């Protein structure tokens, strides 16, 4: 098969329209795999906002990291989750629904805007998948995340 435009999925074209490309799948930082398929669902491990293999920021949202930046990092986590999903099912056009998103926000004790931060991931899925991007969700504030990341997102996607 050629590497021409016909080889690019509609989902990846929509990502490109947003100025985004799928990265390689991030290597696990502990004893787990990036994603697992069971039945017609893909469950991703928590995805950090790696860009070119590095975290763009570290620290607590509401202190060292602004809520606006954290929202952008949540969107990056979503893109990284899509890379992990594609690695399992081969083509993101096979995704029929984003079922669930769980977002973790490393939060300063007084920060209560976790839902707004995780909207970065939710809004990206809506832009990329339309109605199929609507999902159930949790947005949780935590004391600290791996590598002192400000945000982490995990996804459950259904595919055909």
SS (H, E, C) the chain: CCCCHHHCCHHHHHHHHCCCCCCCCCCCCCCCCCEEEECCEEEECCECCCECCECCCCCCECCCECHHHHHHHHHHHHHHHHHHHHHHHCCHHHEEEEEEEEEEEEECCCCCCHHHHHHHHHHHHHHHHHHHHCCEEEEEEECCCHHHCCEEEEEEEEEC
Scanning the structure block, which residue is given the tokens 């990329």?
Answer: 128
In Å, what is the CA distance from 103 to each residue of 6, 46, 89, 107, 158? Answer: 34, 8, 23, 12, 18
Q: What is the pLDDT of residue 1?
A: 38
Q: Which pLDDT does position 2 carry in this prediction?
A: 40
Look at the alpha carbons of 6, 11, 12, 13 in this order and tell me if their dihedral is positive or negative.
positive
Lowest mean pLDDT among 19-28, 54-63, 70-79, 120-129: 19-28
CA–CA separation, 25 vs 66, rounded Å?
Answer: 26
Query: pTM above 0.85?
Result: yes
For residues 156 and 41, the answer to whether their CB atoms sit within 8 Å is: yes
Residue from 76, 60, 57 nearest 125 by CA: 76
Residue range 61-79, pLDDT digits in tens: 999 999 999 999 999 999 9
What pLDDT was estimated at residue 68? 98
């Amino acid at each position: 098969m050629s590497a021409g435009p016909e080889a690019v999925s509609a989902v990846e074209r929509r990502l490109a329209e947003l100025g985004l490309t799928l990265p390689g799948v991030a290597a696990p930082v502990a004893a787990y795999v990036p994603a697992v398929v069971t039945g017609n669902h893909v469950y991703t491990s928590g995805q950090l906002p790696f860009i070119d293999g590095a975290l763009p920021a570290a620290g607590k949202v509401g202190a060292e990291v602004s809520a606006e930046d954290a929202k952008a990092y949540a969107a990056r986590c979503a893109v990284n989750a899509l890379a992990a999903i594609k690695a399992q099912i081969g083509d993101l056009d096979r995704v029929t629904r984003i079922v669930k998103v769980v977002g973790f926000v490393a939060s300063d004790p007084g920060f209560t805007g976790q839902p707004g931060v995780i909207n970065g991931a939710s809004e990206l899925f809506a832009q990329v998948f339309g109605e199929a991007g609507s999902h159930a969700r949790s947005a949780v504030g935590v004391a600290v995340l791996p590598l002192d990341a400000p945000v982490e997102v995990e996804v459950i996607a259904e595919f055909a």
